[in-house]
Structure 1
Amino acid sequence: MAGNVRPVSDERDGLLSFLAQQRYVLKLAAYGLTDEQARLTSTKSTLTVGGLIKHVATVENSWLDTVLQVPQKPFEESVAEYASAHRLSPDETVQDALARYDEVAARTAEVVAGIADLGQAVPVPKGVPWFPKDVEAWSVRWVLLHLIQETARHAGHADILREHIDGGTAMPLMAAAEGWPESPWIKPWTPESQPT
């Protein structure tokens, strides 16, 4: 069925497949948008479709660094990067953000493929105010579940933003991106099919 993850073979395949599906539906929110539209704050929020894609790629990449125990940047530097990762700068395009997200997705697949046990401990970085002080470690499994949750939350945000930009909604966007024929139950999105 359209919009669903294919049957999975095991836990690892399931976790990576559901994460990939959430990435895909988040990226669909940008389908057909210009760079200017991807930068629009179309609601009272400061969130943008392009900024959400850039943010989620940055967050996923950061979690991979945590899994691999890459030394953390100084807190002040991390906060500045976190803030800039929520918006496309004037010299960035939505295609840049999508390409970066694809790079991060490939890195995730590679890193997870190299880990034999999804129960492997992922030590909680110390001195980061948004991480719990009473937890010593997560597991790789927990990190993947967290990434699915984080991506799904932001995919929902992007759906709302997109609908406010031009009326585009998830299933018609998916139909357009995948080349579905028009049918009684779905009309693929086109710029001309949106209200003005």
Structure 2
Amino acid sequence: MNDISSIGGERADLLQTLAKHRGLLLYTVQGLTDEQAATRTTHSELCLGGLIKHLTNVEQRWGRFMTGGAAAMESEPIDWVGQFRMVDGDTLDGLLADYEKTAATTVDLITTLDLDVSHPLPEAPWFEPGASWSVRRVALHMIAEISQHAGHADILREAIDGQKSMG
């Protein structure tokens, strides 16, 4: 991923926190086969490869939002069900490469965009009507999303072979 060592201040804090939580997430998939990464270990549709795919989609969508608002965010369709699974043709290596590329784009955006620029959120039941989010707020949201899913990933991985990211 991008070298952020020369960045200081708030941007460095945001980027270092993103990197920390991405690292926890990525640790959960180390050494897995494609079959293991596609395994559902709970009653949900979640699998480790699917979580990587989902977070790639999340960062891509929010990246488009940071640069072009709600219309840009919604400019590409999303498979709300399939994004949490590995499907034919998906490999863990391929999903990780896509995630790494997307994460690098996110780093570039947070490094270069004005953190105070905001856009109205798209209309959705999970967003407050009429609310706007700044680039900073989007970065904080991505940290929360990655963090939450890193926890999910830890549970899924522990059910596969007992490995935990902490403890």
TM score, norm. by length of structure 2: 0.87
Q: Could you tell me how far apart the structure 1 residues matched to 2:51 and 2:10 are?
A: 27
| 2:38 counterpart of 1:39 | yes
The answer for the alignment partner of 2:119 in structure 1 is: 122
Counting matched residue pairs gives 159
Point out where structure 1 has 5 or more consecutive residues left out of the alignment: 1-5, 173-196
Q: Closer, same or farther in 2 for the Cα pair 1:71/1:11, shift >3 Å?
A: closer
1:131, CA displacement in angstroms? Answer: 2.6
CA deviations on 1:86-141 (whole Å, 9 max, x unpaired) are 111121101111111100011111122221x311113212x334332131x11111
SS across alignment from 2:84: coil
Counterpart amino acid of residue 106 in structure 2: T
Distance 2:19 2:80 in 1: 23
Match of 2:161 in 1: 166
Verify the 8 A CA contact 2:40 2:47 in the aligned structure 1: yes
Q: 1:104 matched to which residue of 2?
A: 102
Per-residue CA deviations over 1:149-171 (Å, capped at 9, x if unaligned) read 00000000000000000111114
1:132 matched residue in structure 2: 128
Residues in 1 aligned to 2:107 and 2:42: alpha-carbon distance in whole angstroms: 34
Unaligned ranges ≥5, structure 2: none
Question: Aligned Cα RMSD in Å?
Answer: 1.9
Query: For the residues of structure 2 that align with 1:43 and 1:85, how far apart are their CA atoms?
Result: 17
Superposition pairs of residues 16-35 of structure 1, within 5 angstroms: 16-35=15-34
Q: 1:130 to 1:73 in 2, by over 3 A?
A: farther
Q: Displacement, 1:18?
A: 0.4
1:45 Cα shift? Answer: 2.0
Partners of 1:92 and 1:60 in 2: how far apart? 19
The structure with more radius of gyration? 1
Higher RCO by CA contacts (8 Å cutoff, separation 6 or greater): 2
**Do the aligned residues in 1 keep the contact of 2:120 with 2:130 (CA within 8 Å)?**
no
